[in-house]
Amino acid sequence: MNDSGMNTSQRADWVAPDCAGLNFYDCDQGLNLGVARYLSADLRAVVEPHMRELGQLAGSRLDELARVADRHRPVLHHRDAYGRDVDSIEYHPSFTEMERIAYGQFSIHRMSHVAGVFGWPEPMPPLIKYIFQYLFVQGEFGLMCPVSMTDTGITLLRNTSTRDVADKYLAQMLSDDIEQLYRCAQFLTEQGAGSDVGNIEVVAKPDGGQWRIFGDKWFCSSTDAEVILLLAPRKARPWAAKD
């Protein structure tokens, strides 16, 4: 009620309240019901306090950090003070703090790959990871792209890479220490192959014991990641070609 005797929400200048300060886990009835229904009691007892913690952060600190990061975009530095090519990217501390929350505090990129996250003796079922992603993106959306590329990059390296490549990169991709972590980027998209990624034309050809890549890629997030994967079959659209 205000001086005019009206409820605030009845005034012409009323603007609906935003979600700042809410706990996005506690206030999400559907999510709570799903967690109660689909998680075993043991697993629920372990993960629910962390979901609640992330739900609180998503409505408060993470939300604040995301707003600050949006106002202080990454800065590309082509050269260092000596004029040498470096092409490094400088991030605002608000972005780095969000990375610590995602990779360090909640291990979203690695929780379904390693045992021990939150003290659980096995890798988390993917459903748990998706719940953490769902909570996180309600505070900050963009960072989930690099986090998810690191998560899926781990799967790719585990399933498809040679032993020496896996040995070289996997341990650090699975780290929860942001100073040690190897984040992963993935080049898939081309001008003629966005939604229809099967239309890609970049190819990889063997040449003297190594692979050479031919063609153009168009879009990639997290381009200063420590591990970069690029999608390039031996033949463009091998499934379509009959020659």
Distant-in-sequence, close-in-space partners of 85: CB < 8 Å, separation ≥ 6: 78, 79
Contact 131, 112 (CB under 8 A): no
Cβ-count burial 121-153 (b if 16+ within 10 Å, e if not) = eebbbeebbebbbbbbbbbbeebbebbbbbbeb
Stretch that binds ligand FAD, among 19-27, 37-45, 72-80, 186-194 (CB under 6 A): 186-194
Is residue 188 a contact point for ligand FAD (CB under 6 A)? yes
Tokens of 209: 């014991």
Q: Classify residue 114 as exposed, middle or buried by CB count within 10 Å of its CB (0-12, 13-18, 19+).
A: middle
Question: In this complex, which beta carbon is closest to ligand FAD, that of residue 60 or of residue 221?
Answer: 221
Least distance (Å) from ligand FAD to the CB of residue 141? 9
Dihedral angle at the C-alpha atoms of 59, 63, 65, 67, nearest 10 degrees?
A: -160
156 counts as binding ligand FAD under rule CB under 6 A: no
190: nearest Cα among 159, 229, 231: 231
| Among 189, 224, 226, 236, contact with ligand FAD (rule: CB under 6 A) | 189
Q: Is residue 135 within 8 Å of 24, Cβ to Cβ?
A: yes
Rule CB under 6 A: which of 191-220 touch ligand FAD? 194-195, 219-220
On the CB side of 219, CA atoms within 13 Å amount to 11
- For the bound state, the minimum distance from the C-beta of residue 221 to ligand FAD, rounded and expressed in Å, comes to 4
> Does 221 engage in binding with ligand FAD (CB under 6 A)?
yes
For ligand FAD, the closer CB: 182 or 187: 187
Binding to ligand FAD by residue 95, rule CB under 6 A? no
Using CB under 6 A as the binding rule, whether residue 145 contacts ligand FAD is answered as yes
Window 10 to 69, contacts with ligand FAD (CB under 6 A)? none
Residue in the shown chain whose Cβ atom is closest to ligand FAD: 194
Q: Which is nearer to ligand FAD, 160 or 191 (CB)?
A: 191
Interface with ligand FAD by CB under 6 A: which range of 51-59, 65-73, 120-128, 184-192?
184-192
Residue type, 203: V
Distance from C-alpha of 186 to C-alpha of 113, rounded to nearest angstrom: 19
CB of 227 to ligand FAD, least distance (A): 13
Contact positions vs ligand FAD (CB under 6 A): 145, 185-189, 194-195, 219-221
